Structure 1
Amino acid sequence: MKHGVLILFQLAGLSACAQHDNLPQSKTFQKMNGQKSEVTAHLDTATFGAGCYWCTEAQFQQLKGVISVESGFSGGHVKNPSYKEVCNGTTGHAEVCNIVYDPSIISYDEMLAAFWTTHDPTQLNRQGNDVGTQYRSSIFYHSALQKAKAEEYKKKLNDEKVFDKPVVTEIVPFTVFYKAEDYHQDYYNANGDAPYCSFVIRPKVEKFQKVFKDKLKSTK
């Protein structure tokens, strides 16, 4: 995550988002986004890797039914890794968000629709200028049902050729989540005027809000 890069490079990194303009028109996307929430008395968790976790966190925080979003690391072999270690690309971890949500308000299908809208899932081990396995597109499933839904929709997205290139999102079992350092948490809300937030995260959040305008938390 080259958060210190020049603004020109930051702006160039936004180009990947344009590939999602056709996603809401996809039949598969519409099916995901239209699935009714389950009536349940418990909360559930989704763990997604979609490049920079600052961006992913800021987008999922907008959705009704999302209780909390924590940025951290998963999928690697190093215990309790630091951000610096993960940035070296040697831990095997991906930057992820651990998202607790209420299935009676938002379904896992809708969470998947949001996930595939937050980033470019056709880029292998990178998102824009963020390059490395730590930025890979990943779904860490917590149940057999989550696995089945993720695999089903990934196949349909590819069969329907929603993107110009195949979706390369890895779908793997969740094992452990390591929370990132405190300054990474709620980053966009705490640092909205920082260049990376203004030029990279904000446009993604604004686009996300347009796509999911009927599923956003009230700002009143």
Structure 2
Amino acid sequence: MKNIFLIIVLAILSSCAQSQSKNLKITAGKKIKMANEAVATFGEGCFWHAEIVFQSLVGVRDAVSGYAGGSVANPDYESVCTGSTGHAEVVQVYYDSTKISYQTLVKAFFASQDPTELNMQGNDMGTQYRTVAFYKNESEKQIINAEIKRLTDSKKYSKKIVTQVMPLKNFYPAEDYHQEYILHHPENGYVQNVSIPDFMKFKKEFKGNFKN
């Protein structure tokens, strides 16, 4: 009986997710570089999810899935998944700094995840899914730390924020099949039941300027 109940619940959740996805337009990244282009790098669990989060914001040209924060050059997905390379799944965000600020991107980063989860996001577990914000200069570092302090002081979370704040040394793009994954594979079970519901929650709660 319990198994039957579980199957029914999963079927209902899947049906709801599919209904949501039919009304959701996923914004694809663009390849042509912008005049005022800047770059930001964030890790917040599965990079499929992070990709659509940032690409949904006005001023962002593209979010490229990849790996950063590790000690091995040119890692691949299989090696990153073992946790032995030290890399996190991240997105490299290309944005127009005259249309969206780095501070807004940082706010979106924290709003689209649970920054109190250590080495995991939801059911995705491992150091590759850790919450991490990379900075390229002192100004970016200060903005990240200021947002951590603001969230901590607001007592939004009952647990401590564990987001790593690290200098960006290297970014390695992920394999082609990971890029724009949700756009190309909307029927995938993980996409339907995890990625899209998480994104819909973010879009409902974040006070940002969305493309659609």
1:213 is displaced (CA, Å) by 6.3
Q: Distance between the aligned counterparts of 1:70 and 1:126, measured in 2?
A: 21
TM-score by length of 2: 0.81
* Structure 1 counterpart of 2:70, one-letter code: G
Deviates more, 1:188-197 or 1:209-218: 209-218
Q: Deviations over 1:64-98 (max 9, x none)?
A: 00011100000001110010000001001000000
Structure number with larger C-alpha Rg: 2
Unmatched tracts of structure 1, length 5 or more: 1-5, 12-40
Q: How does 1:110-189 map to 2 (within 5 A)?
A: 110-189=104-183
1:48 aligns with 2:48: no
1:193 is displaced (CA, Å) by 1.1
Q: Distance between the aligned counterparts of 2:126 and 2:36, measured in 1?
A: 36
Q: Deviations over 1:128-147 (max 9, x none)?
A: 11111111100010221110
Distance 1:132-1:214 versus aligned 2 partners, 3 A rule:
closer
1:214 is displaced (CA, Å) by 5.1
1:107 aligns with 2:115: no
Q: Deviations over 1:43-81 (max 9, x none)?
A: 111100000101111111110000111000000011100
Q: Secondary structure at the match of 2:133?
A: strand
Q: Deviations over 1:144-193 (max 9, x none)?
A: 11101101111221122111111110101011100000000001101011
Q: Secondary structure at the match of 2:49?
A: helix
Q: Distance between the aligned counterparts of 1:163 and 1:105, measured in 2?
A: 30
Instruction: Say which of 189, 200, 205 aligns to 2:199.
Output: 205
Partner of 1:92: 86
Q: Secondary structure at the match of 2:50?
A: helix
Q: Distance between the aligned counterparts of 1:176 and 1:214, measured in 2?
A: 29
Q: Distance between the aligned counterparts of 1:130 and 1:179, measured in 2?
A: 20
* Structure 1 counterpart of 2:92, one-letter code: N
Q: Distance between the aligned counterparts of 1:74 and 1:163, measured in 2?
A: 27
Unmatched tracts of structure 2, length 5 or more: 1-6, 14-34
* Structure 2 counterpart of 1:176, one-letter code: N
Point out 4+ residue stretches in structure 1 off by more than 2 angstroms. 211-214
Distance 1:207-1:110 versus aligned 2 partners, 3 A rule:
same
Q: Distance between the aligned counterparts of 1:91 and 1:203, measured in 2?
A: 30
Q: Distance between the aligned counterparts of 2:202 and 2:45, measured in 1?
A: 15
Q: Distance between the aligned counterparts of 1:91 and 1:214, measured in 2?
A: 35
TM-score by length of 1: 0.79
Partner of 1:22: none
Q: Distance between the aligned counterparts of 2:156 and 2:93, measured in 1?
A: 26
Distance 1:181-1:215 versus aligned 2 partners, 3 A rule:
same
Q: Secondary structure at the match of 1:48?
A: strand
1:217 aligns with 2:208: no
* Structure 1 counterpart of 2:181, one-letter code: Y
* Structure 2 counterpart of 1:192, one-letter code: P
Q: Distance between the aligned counterparts of 1:161 and 1:212, measured in 2?
A: 17
